[in-house]
């Protein structure tokens, strides 16, 4: 009879955990770059694992995508809880959460891409509950202190992040700068009442906008 494993993973389990981390990291990159139509073989190639190893853990693309959905929701919930713990001021916590969610390279930005394609599962529902609870607490606190406009709800946050996190065909540094610029403008409009004084990043020129629109 095998004894229950305690302590850090060893041997095959440790290698399986490393493979899983590599697979999920590669899947985030591949789906972000190529969309839902991306081949699973590209995920395996980037992860440096064989197709057999990938299929043992994720028998279908849908299984891999579901794992990313759960990871993405858990990631956003953790960011919200961290923001509230680090910032006693509710408005500062809300702003910190949004900045962290835009600055990260995790799976939260994949939720719009994967959403609407896959059915809910018990694991997805549980992650959804955790995310909603965290965002409810974040938004409710900002409402109670009078900092946030009353018509903005917790369900607005993921959709706002979707709009602010649009993938742009420019450098990662400039894309982040532009995302943060529009976040600053959005935050200014979310105040109750709206306040001024925020200094957003340098706005794009028309020439830069044309470069984003047009292929070289």
List, for residues 64-73, the tens digit of each pLDDT value: 988 988 888 8
In terms of pTM, does the model score above 0.75?
Answer: yes
Cis peptide before 168 (omega within 30 of 0): no
Report the chain's mean pLDDT, rounded to a whole number: 83
Q: What is the pLDDT of residues 36-95, one digit of tens each?
A: 888 999 999 999 999 998 999 999 988 998 898 888 889 999 999 999 999 999 999 999
Q: 71: phi > 0 → left, psi -120 to 50 → alpha, else beta; which?
A: alpha
Q: Which residue is listed with tokens 């229950």?
A: 4
Is there a contact between 60 and 143 (Cβ–Cβ < 8 Å)? no
| Domains with residue ranges and CATH for the chain | 9-59 (1.10.10.60), 68-213 (1.10.357.10)
Give the model's confidence band at 7: pLDDT under 50 very low, under 70 low, under 90 confident, else very high.
low
User: Is pLDDT of 21 > 70?
Assistant: yes
User: 80 or 124: whose pLDDT is higher?
Assistant: 80
Q: What is the pLDDT of residue 16?
A: 73
Using one digit for the tens of pLDDT, what is the confidence trace for 153-190?
998 888 888 888 877 888 888 988 998 999 999 998 89
The angle at the Cα of 56, spanning 106 to 78, to the nearest 5 degrees, equals 25
CB atoms within 10 A of CB 94: 25
Of the two residues 204 and 64, the one the predictor is more confident about is: 64
Q: Give me the pLDDT at residue 1, please.
A: 39
Residues in CB range of 72: below 8 A, 6 or more apart = 106, 107, 108, 109, 110, 111, 114
């Amino acid at each position: 009879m095998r004894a229950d494993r305690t302590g850090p993973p060893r041997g095959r389990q440790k290698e399986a955990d490393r493979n899983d981390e590599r697979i999920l990291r590669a899947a985030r990159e591949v789906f972000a770059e190529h969309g839902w139509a991306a081949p699973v073989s590209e995920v395996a190639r980037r992860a440096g694992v064989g197709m057999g190893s990938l299929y043992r853990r994720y028998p279908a693309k849908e299984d891999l995508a579901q794992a990313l959905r759960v990871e993405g929701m858990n990631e956003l919930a953790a960011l919200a809880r961290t923001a509230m713990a680090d910032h006693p001021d509710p408005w500062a916590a809300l702003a910190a959460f949004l900045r962290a969610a835009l600055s990260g390279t995790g799976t939260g930005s994949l939720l719009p891409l994967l959403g609407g394609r896959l059915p809910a599962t018990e694991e997805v529902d549980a992650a959804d509950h955790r995310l909603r609870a965290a965002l409810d607490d974040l938004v409710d606190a900002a409402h109670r202190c009078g900092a946030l406009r009353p018509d903005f709800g917790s369900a607005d946050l993921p959709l706002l992040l979707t709009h602010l996190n649009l993938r742009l065909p420019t450098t990662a540094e400039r894309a982040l700068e532009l995302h943060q610029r529009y976040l600053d403008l959005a935050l200014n409009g979310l105040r109750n009442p709206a306040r001024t004084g925020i200094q957003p990043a340098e706005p794009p020129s028309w020439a830069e906008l044309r470069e984003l629109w047009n292929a070289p």
